[in-house]
Chain A
Amino acid sequence: MTVTVRTGAVLALGDDALVLSHRLGEWAGHAPVLEEEVALANIALDLLGQARVLLSLAGDEDELAYLREERAFRNLQLVEQPNGDFAHTIARQLYFSTYQRLLYAQLAAGDSEFTGLAAKAVKEVAYHQDHAEQWTLRLGDGTDLSHERMRRACEALWRFTGEMFQPVEGVDVDWAGMKATWLETVGDVLRRATLEVPEGPQSGAWTAGAGRQGLHTESFGRMLAEMQHLHRSHPGASW
């Protein structure tokens, strides 16, 4: 599928929000405590709102969400990773919300078709980041078991973080500066949580990351099958 620069940019941002929203929605009915159930669902809802605005810039939001094939999605591989245990979900939230807050802050200060949405959403994402940070501190600096699980999660997802800073054509931000700030911010949270910044490269020949080019990890196909099942089985269904 060939897409224009503009559509590619819209899909990159919109698909990140859509896919992470769906993953967080999978926690409904499974979260460790009721408050977390509600928190994760609310974060998912914020992301879904962003996705709807963004995808509508590129076409019909429902068609884009429910009728595209896996290879047409431009989201980061990070956001499609399975929820794992609660620590994995929190590590994914910490990495992504820190990135998204920096990205939206830059877009909000710029002058593009993303400016309005970014200015609005950056305030919401600040709460997502705060939520992830508080949990990282609590789990990292918690019991031996919670520390170990949080450490494992942060390490497992580290190799997906380099992709976030691959410049997206049509998204006019300072990618290198954003990466430096991200490393500083995440590093600070991890240190305060008595965790170490994972070793190993964030990007490179053998690390992950080609989601922006439409290449996805194995579990993404299964996620899409579930997400798109109803729409594909009952076209035009409504209630």
Chain B
Amino acid sequence: MVTVTALEEELRRIAGSVPDPELPVLTLGELGVLRAVHVRGTDAVEVELTPTYTGCPALEAMSLDIERVLHQHGMREVVVRTVLTPAWSTDDISAEGRRKLREFGIAPPRIRHPQASGPVAVELSPTRTVAGSPAPGDPVRCPYCGSAETELLSRFSSTACKALRRCLDCREPFDHFKEL
């Protein structure tokens, strides 16, 4: 049984408050990539961080930022370890994180079907979602006007974790944090 000390909880809160380098509206805690904080001795700490995508280039910046804030908090030695298991999923983004994404103009990922924990739970096609459509899953809603009638422009957008869509009502293009 692993017990989490008050210090570890505090350090986790501090590390978790670091903003994501690419989506600064979100913290690492809200993104769900901070897996654990272990205090080793009096002033050494080990942090477990998981990447969103295997090739995520932001991982190094995240590690450096975590090291910096924990050093500032009096930790002499900070080791950030990358862990792959269990694989990160967009379901790990907190409710507050989803709200902030939408506010920022990015459609948040839909919650994947709970029992579908297999390799891929989302049906990736069709490209268009409309209210009440027979397609599986919820529609991707426009973060600007809330319309459910949106269409996919490209499966890959400004970063690997996003797809580019367009709202069929207000005609605004927008990023969608795609389900993983």
Hey, which chain B residues are within 8 Å of A122, CB to CB? 119-120
Interface of chain A residues 27 through 80 with chain B (CB within 8 A)? 35-36, 38-39, 41-43, 45-50, 52-53
CA distance A49 to B178 in the complex (A): 18
CA distance A41 to B164 in the complex (A): 15
Q: How many residues of A contact B (CB 8 A)?
A: 33
Judge whether A123 is part of the interface by a CB distance below 8 angstroms.
Answer: yes
In the complex, what's the smallest C-beta–C-beta distance from B88 to chain A, in angstroms? 7
Judge whether A210 is part of the interface by a CB distance below 8 angstroms.
Answer: no
Do B84 and A116 touch across chains, with their CB atoms under 8 A apart?
yes
Identity of the chain A residue whose Cβ is nearest the Cβ of B180 in the assembled complex? A123
- Of the listed stretches B26-34, B48-56, B130-138, B142-150, name the one at the interface; the rest are far from the partner chain: B48-56
Residue in contact with A120 in the complex, picked from B84, B120, B158, B164, CB distance below 8 Å = B84
In the complex, what's the smallest C-beta–C-beta distance from B78 to chain A, in angstroms? 21
Identity of the chain A residue whose Cβ is nearest the Cβ of B90 in the assembled complex? A123
Do A127 and B55 touch across chains, with their CB atoms under 8 A apart?
no
Judge whether B5 is part of the interface by a CB distance below 8 angstroms.
Answer: no
Do B155 and A46 touch across chains, with their CB atoms under 8 A apart?
no
In the complex, what's the smallest C-beta–C-beta distance from A84 to chain B, in angstroms? 21
Does more than half of chain A's interface fall in helix, strand or loop, or is it mixed? Answer: helix
Judge whether B85 is part of the interface by a CB distance below 8 angstroms.
Answer: yes
Identity of the chain A residue whose Cβ is nearest the Cβ of B179 in the assembled complex? A123
Do B124 and A127 touch across chains, with their CB atoms under 8 A apart?
yes
Identity of the chain B residue whose Cβ is nearest the Cβ of A51 in the assembled complex? B55
How many contacts between A and B, using CB within 8 angstroms?
84
Q: Number of contact residues on B: which range applies?
A: 20 to 34
Do B155 and A45 touch across chains, with their CB atoms under 8 A apart?
no
CA distance A48 to B53 in the complex (A): 11
Judge whether A121 is part of the interface by a CB distance below 8 angstroms.
Answer: yes
Residue in contact with A123 in the complex, picked from B51, B55, B119, B155, CB distance below 8 Å = B119
Do A120 and B55 touch across chains, with their CB atoms under 8 A apart?
no
B residues near A (Cβ < 8 Å) are 51, 53-57, 84-89, 119-120, 124-125, 127, 153-160, 164, 178, 180
Q: Which 7 interchain pairs have the tightest Cβ spacing?
A: A49-B55, A49-B54, A39-B156, A120-B87, A35-B154, A116-B85, A42-B156
A residues near B (Cβ < 8 Å) are 35-36, 38-39, 41-43, 45-50, 52-53, 101, 104-105, 108, 115-117, 119-124, 126-127, 130-131, 134
Please, could you name 14 A-B residue pairs with CB atoms under 8 Å apart, sorted by A? A35-B156, A45-B55, A46-B53, A50-B55, A116-B87, A117-B84, A119-B85, A119-B86, A123-B89, A124-B53, A126-B120, A126-B124, A130-B124, A130-B125
